[in-house]
Amino acid sequence: MNTDATIEGGSNARTRWNRPLPRNVEPGSKFSKLTVLARASNDKAGRVRLQCQCHCGEVCIARLSDLRSGHTKSCGCRRKFAAQYRYLTLKRRGGYSALGPSDGGSNVKASTKLVLGCAYCPKVSFLKAATFLKGKRICGCLEETYSSYRNMIQRIDTEKHPEYALYGGRGIKICKEWREDFHTFVSDMGPRKPGTSLDRRDPDGDYCRENCRWATAQMQAQNRRRSKGRVRVGSV
Ligand SMILES: [Zn+2]
Ligand SMILES: [Zn+2]
C-alpha cells in the first residue's frame, strides 16, 4: 500500500562511487520525485541501488528495481504528507472546515485545493491544503474580531500602547489558551458583534473566557459603576 516504504540506507549509507551506472540510467534520470545522482552499493542480494535526490531536497538510496517498478517514488516524504492529509476532510483549522477537494476527488495532497466552509458565516472559500493546515488564514468575517484580539495583546504587552498602564502595566494577563491561539479566543467568545468591544466583567481580572464578554459602551459603563460600588463595600 505504502509505496515509499522500502527505502534502505538513507543518506548515511555507504556508497560506492566508482561503479558505472546501469544501462539507460544517468545522473539526472528521474523516477517520480527522485532524481538519480550516482550509483550506490548493491544491497545484500546484489541488487543495484542508486543514490537519488528527492524533490524535497533529501538524499536517499533506492533500489533500481523499486524505482523502475514505481514502488519507490520519493525519499519517504510523500508518505509523511499522505499521512498528514489523509484525514484532512472535515478537519477544522483557522475557523474553516475542510469540506473536501475542489475537484470532487478524494485524493488530497499539499497542493490540492480544498473547499472550505467558514464556521462563522455562510461564505465558502478555496485554499491549498498546505495553507489550510497552517491555520493562519482567517475568513473576512473575523477581521473585526481579530483586530480586538490584537488590541488586547497590545494593551497587555506593548509598553508604548497608550493604555498599557491600565492593563499590562498593572498586571492584567491573558490566559495561555487565548494567547497561543486566536481561534481558541474566537471559539470561546464568538465573533465580535457590531457596536461592541471586548469587556472584562471584573476590571481587575484577566482576559479569559470566564471574565470576558462582547459589550456595548453602555453595558461597560454600567459594569464600571457596579464594580466601583463593590470596591467601596469591600474596603469598608
Ligand atoms: Zn522527499
Ligand atoms: Zn466567515
At 56-102, the pLDDT tens digits run: 889 999 999 999 999 999 998 877 766 666 556 557 777 888 887 88
Confidence of residue 147 (pLDDT cuts 50, 70, 90): very high
Question: Which residues touch 19 (CB under 8 Å, ≥6 apart)?
Answer: 39
Domain's final residue, options 79, 94, 109: 79
Give domain status of residue 231, yes or no: no
Rounded to the nearest whole angstrom, what is the distance from the C-alpha of residue 60 to the centroid of ligand 1?
Answer: 9
Give domain status of residue 42, yes or no: yes
Give domain status of residue 47, yes or no: yes
Overall domain count for the chain: 3
How many angstroms separate the first and last alpha carbons of the chain?
75
Same domain, 159 and 190: yes
Same domain, 71 and 121: no
Q: Which structural domain range is residue 157 located in?
A: 141-221
Rounded to the nearest whole angstrom, what is the distance from the C-alpha of residue 108 to the centroid of ligand 2?
Answer: 23
* Nearest ligand atom owner, CA of 74: 1
Shortest CA distance to 103 belongs to which of 91, 115, 93? 115
Domain's final residue, options 79, 106, 123: 79
Distances (CA, A) of 56 to 78, 87, 139, 152: 9, 22, 31, 40
Give domain status of residue 233, yes or no: no
